[in-house]
Structure 1
Amino acid sequence: MVHDTSLRPVERRVLRMSEQGLDDAEIGRRFRHSADWTARVRSLSEVPRPNGHHLRGDVLRPIERRVLRWRAAGADYDELAPRFRRSPDFLRQVEALAQYRLRGPDS
C-alpha cells in the first residue's frame, strides 16, 4: 500500500491502482489520460523531492519578495503597478502584508 506523504494525491492513487493490478491503459482511462501518462506519473513519483512547502525557507510569496525588493530600491507604487499588472493600492497591501509576515507572530 502507498503511504508516502511526499507524493501528490494523483500519484498515490495511480500507484495504488497499479498495485491492485490494473494496467496503465485502464488507469489512464479512469483519469481520462493515456497509458503513457500513467507510466510517466509512476516513473516521476519515484523522483526524490525536497520535503516541505517552503523550498527556500521563505515565509514570503514571490510577489511579496519582488515588491519589497523594488520598494527598497526606491520604486514608487505608481511605477510598479504596470509592471505587476496590479493597482498601486494592491501593491501597498502586498507590501504591508509582507512586512507583517516578516515581523513574525511575536511582534
Structure 2
Amino acid sequence: RRAWQKALASSAEGVTSGPEDGMAEVKIATRAWWKMWDADLTEPTRTSRDERFAARARGALASVREGGGTTLLLVLVEPRLDAVLDALHRSIAPEVIVSYDDLLALYEEA
C-alpha cells in the first residue's frame, strides 16, 4: 500500500487537472501502475519488450501502407511512449504482420 501511494505521488508530477471527467486521475493511476510493473523487470527485458513493440508498430504501418488485409494498430499508453520512441529511433526492423484475413485465406486453401 505504501509503495502504491509513493508511486501515485510521483506519477502526479506534471499532470494538470482539466475538465471534471476524471481523466487526470486515470492518467496518474496508469502511470503509477506501469512504473510499479516496470520496476520488477530487468533492463534487458524492458529493452526487448520496447524493441518488439517498435517492430510491431513498424510492421503494422508497413502493412497499412501496402493496403493488404486488415491491420489493428493500438496506441501505446503514455508512460511507455518514450521508451518505444527510443526503440523506433534505433531503426528496429519491422515485424512481418499477417492479418486475420490472410490467415483465414491460407487456412481455407489448405
Q: Provide the TM-score with structure 1 as the length reference.
A: 0.25
Q: Which has the larger radius of gyration?
A: 1
Q: Provide the TM-score with structure 2 as the length reference.
A: 0.25
Normalized per residue, the structure richer in helix is 2
